[in-house]
Amino acid sequence: MNKNIKIGIIGAGENTKKFHIPNFQQLDNVEVIAVCNRSYESGKKVADEFGIDSVYDNWIDLLSNDDIDAICIGTWPYMHEVLVTESLKNNKHVMTEARMTFDFESSKKMLEASKRKPHLICQIVPAPMTLKFDKYIRKTIAENKIGNVIQVDISINHQTPISVSGGYPDFNSSNHWRSDINFSGMNTMQLGIWYEAMMRWVGAAKNVMSISRITVNTKKNEDDYEYIRIPDNVNVIGELDIGGLYNIQMSTVKGHAPLDSVMIYGTTGTIKLDCVNYDLFMANDKSELKKINIPSEFQSSWRVEEEFINAIIGKEKISHTTFETGLRYMEFVEAVRKSSESGSKISLFT
């Protein structure tokens, strides 16, 4: 493909403005030519900031533009299914912001739509925090350097922007789209992000058992209050497909909670990921945990826009993140919700 790839933006939120638009504009043979935001005025502001020629006041007209080759979707999850499926109907490659979508059923529809257009590239923006470590952790486990995996413990209590990091409940907090079920759907805090990362290291979970609570059950919304239906304190346990167990604790309301970390316990060694300073540690047998300097060839970094364009021109395949992976984490986050509501173990099938 010799011609420039022309990108249309639907939903120019924080990530889109901070990463996607400028990163696309830095690539050779790529042009961002159109934008549609929640209002024409906000779209015009983005267009002026980044030198984008065309502003649309609705996404249907943007998708009808035959000059556009690919769509970058930066809206909240509740819009992802319709925007992805309609982009594909209009023969556009599509990259959508994470989380994949609203619920498991809509993720299945998105995957099915992508399979009907196999010549078009579909990508989800990946969970970015662990990209530097993923290859090395996989290598370490695959080479049996910590033995068989006994358990993976993930503890995440310092999540912004929906909480004060490590703070007690804020009963005067304003509502955020991540805590609004109408926009986020089955997605709960950072569960999907960390399950995606866990799948990179040890594969998928076999089942889910969870219990959750909503501590702050109302939040401010302009001059009114809204009842919150997304939990702010969750505990999840289950079995891994490869054997062993996992335990995920996630909260935005636990004051003085331990710093965020991941522990992978094996029969002969342990891996620790410090999720505050983002350092990796390992120990074998009775030795103490020691910081690992990861060789550069095993490190990855943020390159989602480059990967998307390279996949379109046939230079590489999508690795971060495919619709198949998105389907798995959407199944997981919905199973967490269902298990908490029913008090039963939920088996995973994908």
* CA 49 – CA 7 distance, rounded (Å): 16
How many C-beta atoms surround the C-beta of residue 110 within 10 A? Answer: 27
CB distance 199 to 325 below 8 Å: yes
pLDDT at 163: 47
Residue range(s) of every CATH 3.40.50.720 domain in the chain = 5-125+303-319
* Numbers of helices and strands, H then E, in the chain: 11, 17
Please tell me the pTM assigned to this model.
0.95
Task: At 178, list the tokens.
Answer: 């991540």
Q: 134-300 adopts what CATH topology? A: Dihydrodipicolinate Reductase; domain 2 (3.30.360)
**CA–CA separation, 284 and 267 (whole Å):** 9
Q: Point out the residues of the chain with pLDDT beneath 50.
A: 163-164
**Which CATH fold would you assign to the domain 5-125+303-319?**
Rossmann fold (3.40.50)
Residue extent(s) of CATH 3.30.360.10 domains in the chain? 134-300
At residue 3, the pLDDT reads 85
70-73 and 5-10 as β-strands: parallel, antiparallel, unpaired?
parallel
Residue 222 pLDDT: 83
Which pLDDT score is estimated for 287? 87
| Amino acid type, 257 | A
Residues 98 and 82: their CA atoms lie apart, in Å, by 15
pLDDT in tens, 100-151: 999 999 999 999 999 999 999 999 999 999 999 999 999 999 999 999 999 9
